[in-house]
Amino acid sequence: MDLASFLADVDAQPWADLQHAYGSAADVPGHLRALAGDSEEAASEAVSELYGSILHQGSVYGATARAVPYLARLAGAGYRTEDLVALLGGIAEGGADGGDSDEAACRAAVVGELALILTAVDAGDPGLRRAAAWAAAMTNAAEQVLPVLHRRWKTETDPLVRAELLGAMAHLDPSGTAGTATAALGADEPGEVRIAALLACVDGGLPWGPAHHGAMLSLLPVNGLVEDRMDLERNEPLQYVVEALLLRDTDADRDATYTLLDAALRNADPEAREEALWAAETACLLSRSAPERLSGAVEALMADPADAPAAYSLLTKLGVRAAVAAPALVRLAAGEGDPADCALEALVAVAPDRAAPLLARDLGRRPRALRAACGFLIGGTADSSFPYDPALLDAIRTRLGSDGPDADETVRLVLLLGAWGSRASAALPELRSALPGSPKAVPKALAAICPPEHRAATAELLTAAARTGPEDGRLAAAVAVRELTGETGPLLAAVAGHLTPGGPAVREAARLAAELGPEATGLVPALRSALSESEGTRNSPQLDADVEIAAALWRITADPEAAVPVLAGVLAEAEPTWTHWTLGRAARAAARIGGAARPLVPALEGLLTDRVQIPSAVLALHAIAPESLDGPRAAGLLLDAAERDADAVTALEALVALGPTALTAAHHRRLTALAERDRRVRASGVETRIAPADERLREQAREAARTLAGA
């Protein structure tokens, strides 16, 4: 390669006009020059910079496709060949087949360099052969690539290269590679090849049989066998197999999965058990039967106190199904420091009644367990199911009366007291003292625990807080006054004080005004003044606040002219990709208005093309213009959304609203399956919230099925 000509060509490109992850791609020529330079350090840094800019976390850009031919020419000339072939593979992996997007252009550009990549499949260096096999597969150009990979497979002896070849063939032709993978399961193959074969068998859709089960167990722990692979999607093979089998959602695959996990969790090797624990946690996130099916191995996991902490995360997901672990956890939680706190945190999930007295014993030094007891593990709010315990109540009172708790701990203690209600009434003095330091959390708890004989004095304290207390706690204090006494004057005043355009609490204030209904008539001018003024450029908080204001105006005035134009503006301006929850709120607000919101029908019908928006749109259209809906079609769309967890809660609500006449027999079967299938509907989000949220959704689906079947 004529380096001077190459660099001149590089400089002639309009890099400054192209974009990568960090904006202008004007820095790309410098990185290409460094790759061709004499400094090894500079070349290594250039590779790293290119991964960060033109292939940022797997994403590709306009500058990426333009860089591909230059990367290939450098690789062909012997400059960082292995690194650059791997980079080309990553670009192809981040690309797409067809279309006119940057992604499609990137993959097409790498396909244009396949001759170089396929030649490298036969290179003398095994590292380059591995990179080339993987990169070639990422192009998805099966007709060109598979013959080369098959030919090389017949002669390749290096275990890592053979593993990469097998993975590449499985990527391009999963079912067609299953036979080759099965033949490679035997003990005469190195472990790196055998684990690649197991993964290829799964990708090829083969039933998981005794040979696969035995091979996986014989290879555990397996993560080390893939740590040098180019394929990062399968870098935890046991977890990958468990996930793939459970996603098939058949009885046979579930039985195979849990038989495998049970054996792996009982493995004598701690590293193997660690891999099995992570795979078991994945099962809990995917499968409703996981807690029951995995509970049998709990006792074995807790046999050695030194190994038990590794199982805590799984135990919290198994919950009461892991009750057999309680005695061991009690012993460990009785210790000192963070290890005891971690054990107690797990005990809160497994046997909360046994955790309460231990938490009381050393409350100030058990922050993780307190967080769990307050329900922060399952949704961020207090969980009233954590058992009331007199000793723990005394400990909380002592803790609140000391100088020890910080603001976060105080909030947790307050939430726990509020969840106990009147049983925690003895803590009234401590809560009253905590009000100035936690003005948002304490009022609700005060209202919850306050006994009748102290309501007047407590309401007086809260009224003062609502008028002159910290700004961020006035609404909460006013709400508590209303709950204790029924008086709404403090709430009306607090809401009025927060209805300032762009204010941080406008949305909450508007929601409370809506709850007051016609009693809040005097707030109408303030509500109108609080509407956003920057139509066309509003951000999500502003749009959300305007939806709440529109809902409040309707509830207070019953005048659609006050609310419908506001909702129309939000529906027109909100962008579905980034503000889909805002659109859902606007549709729900329209549903509450009913027939008077008919001008919004075209905008709501437009939402039916977006699965996430379908549930709220159907709910609104049914309330506003039911004749505009084809019942069976709408039911099908709602079930599609629910099955894919696209606002499934609203989808089920809308199904019930449509009524039984909208559902066909097939729809009823799908609804029943949604409630009774093993695969979780909720399978994404914060891990600790997935299973509880899915159980609530399951109960909602069961209730919907009963309602629609019996109506």
DSSP codes of every residue in 505-546? THHHHHHHHHHHGGGGGGGHHHHHHTS-S-TTS--HHHHHHH
Q: What is the pLDDT of residues 355-369, one digit of tens each?
A: 999 999 999 999 999
Map residue 311 onto helix, strand or coil: helix
Is the pLDDT at 151 greater than 60? The verdict is yes
| pLDDT (mean) for 263-286 | 96
Which band of pLDDT confidence, cut at 50, 70 and 90, is reported for residue 207?
very high
Q: Which domain, by its residues, includes 399?
A: 388-486
H or E, element range at 55: strand 55-56
Percent residues over pLDDT 70 in the chain: 98
What per-residue confidence (pLDDT) applies to 574?
86
| pLDDT (mean) for 658-679 | 96
What's the CA gap between 551 and 533, in Å, rounded? Answer: 18
Which band of pLDDT confidence, cut at 50, 70 and 90, is reported for residue 44?
very high
- Helices 648-658 and 614-624, interaxial angle, to 10°? 30
Map residue 673 onto helix, strand or coil: helix
What per-residue confidence (pLDDT) applies to 346?
96
DSSP 388: P
What's the CA gap between 156 and 184, in Å, rounded? Answer: 13
Q: Are 295 and 322 in contact (CB under 8 A)?
A: yes
- Measure the CA angle with vertex 73, ends 67 and 76; round to 5°: 140
Is 193 inside any structural domain? no
DSSP 382: -
Is 597 inside any structural domain? no
Is 332 inside any structural domain? no
Q: What is the pLDDT of residues 418-469, one digit of tens each?
A: 999 999 999 999 999 999 999 999 999 999 999 999 999 999 999 999 999 9
Which pairing describes strands 19-20 and 55-56: parallel, antiparallel, or unpaired?
unpaired
Q: What is the pLDDT of residues 220-256, one digit of tens each?
A: 999 999 998 998 889 999 999 999 999 999 999 999 9
Is 479 inside any structural domain? yes
Is 399 inside any structural domain? yes
Which band of pLDDT confidence, cut at 50, 70 and 90, is reported for residue 377?
very low
The two structure tokens encoding residue 131: 């990179």
Q: Which of 230, 148, 250, 240 is nearest to 200 (CA)?
A: 240
| pLDDT (mean) for 377-403 | 77
- How far CA 275 is from CA of 311, 328, 571, in Å, comes to 11, 22, 48
Q: Are 63 and 85 in contact (CB under 8 A)?
A: no
Is 262 inside any structural domain? no
Is the pLDDT at 1 greater than 90? The verdict is no
What's the CA gap between 649 and 517, in Å, rounded? Answer: 26
What per-residue confidence (pLDDT) applies to 711?
55
Partners of residue 59 on adjacent β-strands: 56
AA identity, residue 326: A
The pTM of this model reads: 0.88
Is 417 inside any structural domain? yes
What per-residue confidence (pLDDT) applies to 385?
66
Q: Are 111 and 141 in contact (CB under 8 A)?
A: yes
The two structure tokens encoding residue 409: 């701990």
Map residue 460 onto helix, strand or coil: helix
Place of tokens 């390669």: 1
Q: What is the pLDDT of residues 395-427, one digit of tens each?
A: 999 999 998 899 999 999 999 999 999 999 999
Q: What is the pLDDT of residues 328-356, one digit of tens each?
A: 999 999 999 999 999 999 999 999 999 99
The two structure tokens encoding residue 287: 């499968």
AA identity, residue 607: L
As for how many domains the chain has, the answer is 1
Is 547 inside any structural domain? no
Question: How many residues in the chain?
Answer: 711
